[in-house]
Chains A and B, each alone.
Chain A
Amino acid sequence: MRPEPRLIEVRKNVLKQNDIVARTLRDSFHAAGVFVVSLVSSPGSGKTAFLEKTLTLLRPNYRVAALVGDLATENDALRLARSHAPVKQITTGTLCHLEAAMVQNAIQEEHWDLNQLDFLFIENVGNLVCPSSYDLGEDLRLVLISVTEGEDKPLKYPTIFNSADVAVVTKMDLAAAVEFDSQTAHKNIQAVRPGMQVFKLSAKTGEGMQNFLNFLSKRLQELRPTPVT
């Protein structure tokens, strides 16, 4: 008798394993009251400079730490360590993105006590494609573009922009030199993610940073509502 094909229903999310770990992470972050921000961008748009500035400015008032993903080298961790915040490099080898399990392992290896943190930053591998599919348990996904990359970046990589919660346009100190069209960039961001909040700033000069820090403080407060008396 010739075998006949038969269809059986399965319905399983391919990234279920990652989603389970991400959910566990998110629960533990919330239980500890730490606000977690992940950063995605193309290589070279200035994630590390932006993060170094953010850590340095937050540190006098908040307890901060950062995980930073790269295919190789500890260079970014060394740069971020200048902010005197605890920093851990995750080297992914050939992998083009971070996964939730890597975040979990890194936190465990460092023995970080989440209860002792206000903000945790996770800098993803420089890549505007692959990181979009992987939940890391973060509260906020921040996509960064620099003025030197052109205004059409959101249209070229709509998936990652759509998956992000806020956008940061960096290197604004170079905007005039590269004839960056701020309005067009804003319009393109809104086309792929209607209503997304956009911060324009320069990590180098500090212009616009305060606005972003105020936003982070507010989000942390929302995460830890003061009990009504």
Chain B
Amino acid sequence: MHELSIAMSIVELAEEEASRRGVQIEAVHLKLGALAGVVKDALLSCYEMACDETPLQGSRLIIEELPVIIFCTTCQAQHPLNSIQLFCCPKCGTPSDLIVQGKELEVVALEIKECAPNPA
């Protein structure tokens, strides 16, 4: 169960970015690959805990799950895997460990509250 330390890293990263830009964060957008070794639901509940008593309290974590995509040397094409229990091309059956996508654990965007400029 390492989702809490991952969640804390996400909060830390977002907080840093927010204070650098002088903005308030409403939501954090995360890309999560099927091979990242992180469970979505566990991460979501840990995120809430990690946000407690930080400027991100009350913010949301929006997770986009990415399937594993392999490159098949026979088809010379990329295909998403049907299951991470079988690293074979879903079209022709050639085994492949050429992973094109699936290891992502990446904060891709921050949704910020746009503050109205102070009236002059």
Q: Which residues of A contact B (CB under 8 A)?
A: 1, 3-17, 95-97, 129-130, 132-133, 155, 158-160, 162-163, 190-195
Contact = CB atoms under 8 A, between A and B. Distances in A.
Interface string B71-93: 00000000000001111100000
Nearest to B87: A194
Interface residues of B, number: 39
Contacts of A194: 87-88, 95-97
B114 A4 contact: yes
A129 B3 CA distance: 11
A195 B97 contact: yes
A192 B87 contact: yes
Pick the 9 closest A-B CB pairs, nearest first: A194-B95, A130-B2, A132-B37, A1-B116, A133-B37, A3-B113, A158-B84, A14-B105, A159-B37
Nearest to B34: A159
By secondary structure, the A interface counts as mixed
B28 to A, nearest CB: 9
Interface of B: 1-2, 5-6, 9-10, 13, 17, 21, 23, 26-27, 29-30, 35-38, 84-88, 95-97, 99, 105-116
11 contacts: A5-B26, A5-B27, A6-B112, A12-B13, A96-B1, A160-B37, A162-B97, A192-B84, A192-B85, A194-B96, A195-B95
Given A155-B85, A194-B88, A195-B97, 4 more contacts: A3-B116, A14-B9, A15-B105, A158-B85
Contact of B113 (A5, A95, A132): A5
A10 B110 contact: yes
Contacts of A16: 13
A211 to B, nearest CB: 23
